[in-house]
Chains A and B, each alone.
Chain A
Amino acid sequence: MGAFSGLSERLSHIFSKLKDKGKLTELEVKGAMREVRIALLEADVNLSVVKQFINNVTEKAVGEQVLKSLSPAQQVIAIVKDELTAVMGGDSSKLKVADKPPTIILMCGLQGGGKTTMCGKLAVMLRKQGKKPLLVACDIYRPAAIKQLQVVGKNADVPVFEMGQIDPQKIVKGALKEAESKGYDTLIVDTAGRLHIDDQLMDEISGLKKTFNPDEILLVVDAMTGQDAVNVAKAFNDVMDVTGVVLTKLDGDTRGGAALSIRAVTGKPIKFCGTGEKLSDIEVFHPERMASRILGMGDVLTLIEKAQNAYTEEEAREMQRKMREKTFTLEDYLAQIDKMKNMGDVSQMIGMIPGMAGKLKGQDVSVDESKMKKVKAIIQSMTPAERQNPDSIKGSHKKRIAAGSGTTIQDVNSLLKQFAQVREMMSRMSNIGKRGFRMPF
Chain B
Amino acid sequence: MGIFSKLAQGLKKTKEAIAKKFYSLFTGRALDEEFFDDLENVLISSDLGVEATEQILERFKDECFERRISKAEDARELLKDIMVESIDYEVAPYEYPLIILVAGVNGVGKTTAIGKLAKYFKNKGKSVVMAAADTFRAAAGEQLEVWSQRAGVRLIKHEEGSDPAAVVFDALSSAKAKGTDVVLIDTAGRLQNKKNLMNELSKINKVVERECPDADYRTYIVLDATTGQNALSQVEAFDEIIDVDGIILNKMDGTAKGGVVFAISAERELPVIFVGVGEKIDDLAEFDAQTFIDSLFE
- Chain A residues with a Cβ under 8 A of chain B: 1, 6, 38, 41-44, 46-47, 110-114, 116, 141-145, 147-148, 150-152, 155, 195-197, 222, 224-229, 231-232, 235, 249, 251-255, 257-258, 277, 347, 364, 366, 368-370
Contact = CB atoms under 8 A, between A and B. Distances in A.
Interface residues of B, number: 49
Contact of A255 (B41, B193, B230, B255): B230
Given A143-B147, A251-B193, A197 B13 contact: yes
B193 A228 contact: no
A17 to B, nearest CB: 19
Nearest to B193: A253
B49 interface: yes
B259 A226 contact: yes
Given A111-B109, A141-B279, A228 B254 contact: yes
Nearest to B111: A143
Max chain A CB contacts within 10 Å: which of B44, B45, B138, B147?
B138
Q: Is the interface of A mostly helix, strand, loop or mixed?
A: loop
Interface in B149-180: 160
B91 interface: no
B286 to A, nearest CB: 22
Given A144-B142, A196-B254, A226 B227 contact: yes
A247 to B, nearest CB: 13
Max chain B CB contacts within 10 Å: which of A150, A152, A227, A231?
A227
Contact of B14 (A38, A150, A197, A347): A197
Contact of A225 (B137, B193, B228, B253): B228
Contacts of B191: 249, 251-253
A228 B255 contact: yes
B254 A144 contact: no
B230 A44 contact: yes
B285 interface: no
Interface string B128-145: 000000000111101101
Contacts of A155: 138
A113 B196 contact: no
Contacts of B272: none
Contacts, number: 156
B86 interface: no
A158 B50 CA distance: 46
B228 A1 contact: no
B229 interface: yes
A231 B14 contact: yes
Given A196-B254, A368-B196, A47 B41 contact: yes
A224 B109 contact: no
> 3 smallest A-B Cβ distances: which pairs?
A226-B228, A112-B107, A44-B228
A125 to B, nearest CB: 18
B106 A227 contact: no
Nearest to B223: A224
Given A112-B109, A222-B224, A369-B196, A196 B255 contact: yes
Contacts of A111: 107, 109, 251, 279
A192 B147 CA distance: 17
Given A111-B107, A257-B228, A364-B195, A226 B47 contact: yes
